[in-house]
Chain A
Amino acid sequence: MAQRSTTTSAGDDASRILDGGFWLVLVFAAILGVVVVVSTVLGQPSPNAAGVKASPSSSASPAPSVDTAAFLARTLATAPPIELVDQDSQPFSLASLRESPVFVFFGYTHCPDVCPATIGTVGKAIAATSLGARAVFVSVDPQRDTPAWLKEYAAYMPAGFVPLTGSESQVRTTADGWNVRYARVETGEPNGYSMAHTADVFLVDAAGSIRATFPFGTSPEAMAAVLRQVVAGTSSAAPSVAATSPTPAPPASVAPSVATPSPASSMTGSRTPVAVDVKVVSTSVWSGPAGPVILSLSTGGTRLNDVGLHPTVQLVSPTGDPLGAAVQAVAVRPPGVPEVSYVATIAIPQPGSWALALTTPLAGRRAEGTVGFTALDPGTTAPIGAPAPTVHTPTLADVGGVAKAVTTDPAPDLRLSQRSTTDALADSQPFVLVGDSAKFRVSPACGRAIIMARYMLDRWPQVGFIHLEPYRYSVITDTPVLDGTLVDPTLTDPATAWGVGGDPWGVRSMPWVFVVDGSGVVRAKYQGVMGSDDVDVILSLIAQGG
């Protein structure tokens, strides 16, 4: 019987068990088993040992090991407005929770992992402190998270939680105000999509200021310790909290559409400026040399489509300081598109959270608005503003017309494989290089950049669209080969894989897209999810000589 349930590799040995030292082995195994069980049982509490001492209800002493300064805000910023509806379809304003500390975070109810974990953590922090703190959960998936559904979901939330939803635009405006980013991601499963989103938890104090930010994975003990400190008014442990007063004047005058915790509300003029709702259209904004940031502007819910407008845009640091010189944005209207975008070319010193403060004359008045955004780390990729890498990307002709050698797309658009980047550079032709794979989807965005390129190709016949399959093609097996694993793939470096020199593009992920102008200069680059609007605007900018 023992023989049958062992694995085949052990079968040979198992037959020997029955003679010789069988009982000896049985005793050993029993001891081993007891040791395993005991260590499993005892092993459980040990990782928590430090936290266990601190956590149980005694609200007197915060956990000694928590570095609360790591979470506390260095400057006090007013919490951006939240005006949405709750699970009973009743209008809800964050301001209605003044007098209580509030944890604010964004998520969605079909989120099985990150959001419930965050809800659990915040719930524990609230319960452990008994300070009457509340929590607000803002859905970034209003399509599925209707008030009726939120009511079902609320039953699974700890006491004191308010789930909120609203229209797509209300939710987007709210999230933008909090510098929260989210994007719909198709899962490829039946009717499936998920929402990628930033998963920080914000702590707003009773006076309505953001006092702390907790990244995903922060322990309930740390949140509780920070909450205690904020409520006790001792958060001056943080490096440079304004020395004036621990409770800032509640700002009654914040215009609802100026939606950043950052500054720029320089209400100097006697006339109140017109509020402009600024949105960042660019799906990737990079730190490093000056690169394009595409903006859309609207006032009172109506988009501004004035090509005569050249707004002034100033980069603002997370602490509210203007950085570098203000620049004039260029108005761009892609062919056949009614909407006008405004492109500001801005150098951002380092990755992270930033804001843009925008001002423009508008119908004889001064209009202004701010928007928060995240600058990404460009890593080793070819820098914007620099000459494009000179490596030769393979074309269909290079591989004897074997489509499988240049693309894993089962129904490839071979127009994307006719020219190499070196051809385009030699002809001073603007081009868009798309590194993407239909077969090896290392991220949910994979395959979509190719689709975007096929669509754009018809819109921009004079631009070269070049697909680079970042995987190796094996001549022997006649198949594309994934080196490494899907989770950690080794992408083909075209410079070495094809043996035709030049410096490579330096990417380590996919999909990615580079836009290069007729002078061979990299003008924009995108990683992961990218919008066709984005590339359209950059190509229009290049076409109009901008």
Chain B
Amino acid sequence: MLRRSISALAAFAIVFTVAACGTAGGSLSTSAAWARPGATGADTAAYLVITNAGGAADTLVSASSPGATSVGLHETIPDASGMMGMQPVVGIEIPPGGSVTLQPGGKHLMVMGLTKALAVGDSLDLELKFKNAGTVKVKAEVKQP
């Protein structure tokens, strides 16, 4: 009986999180999405936290935005000589029960070719495609951290 209640609680917590965040696909939720401002035609980056409350890993495989020509999954890494470089990432795995933070200086969404300028206070729509959860829509707040 106790065990039953706990598993029921866990299941409900998932429902609750999904409802609270609004932007979710299955057991995935996103939070704290933001992007840097930029001029029309410029490239910028978007960041967010992706949490996987489910029991199986999921992978962010691609992203797109109606506000940009393309969006890539990138990671900033210093190379052997100390240069900071970016490299495309094939997929970003979100472990079961874990979360991945896309943040400056690490993994990020590289937003290429803004179709209109982004100013602080605007928002940028993003569509994230996950291997299992499918498409998840996210609104990133434009801000200068």
Contact = CB atoms under 8 A, between A and B. Distances in A.
A29 B14 CA distance: 9
A250 interface: no
B79 A117 contact: no
Interface in B24-48: 26-27, 36-39, 41-45
Contact of B9 (A29, A284, A487): A29
A96 B18 CA distance: 57
A239 B111 CA distance: 44
A370 B5 CA distance: 74
B80 A32 contact: no
A191 B72 CA distance: 13
A32 B81 contact: no
Nearest to B108: A113
Contact of B14 (A7, A37, A113, A194): A7
A153 B42 contact: yes
Given A181-B82, A527-B80, A189 B37 contact: no
A155 B118 CA distance: 12
A13 B39 contact: no
A24 interface: yes
A444 B87 CA distance: 6
A156 B85 contact: no
Contact of B39 (A33, A116, A152, A377): A152
Interface residues of B, number: 56
Nearest to A30: B16
A190 interface: yes
B129 to A, nearest CB: 16
A112 B84 contact: no
A183 B87 CA distance: 13
Contact of A156 (B8, B37, B145): B37
B87 A29 contact: no
A26 B80 contact: no
Contact of B83 (A21, A113, A117, A198): A198
A190 B70 contact: yes
B39 A155 contact: yes
B111 A112 contact: yes
Contacts of B104: 113-114, 116-117
Nearest to A116: B36
B57 interface: no
Contacts of A20: 4-5, 8
B105 A29 contact: no
A156 B90 CA distance: 31
In the complex, the 9 A-B pairs of residues with the closest C-beta atoms, listed nearest first: A196-B85, A112-B45, A196-B83, A13-B11, A10-B11, A117-B104, A152-B39, A7-B27, A199-B84
18 contacts: A5-B19, A20-B4, A24-B5, A25-B12, A109-B42, A112-B110, A112-B111, A113-B110, A120-B144, A120-B145, A185-B87, A189-B112, A217-B105, A284-B81, A377-B80, A443-B87, A487-B75, A528-B79
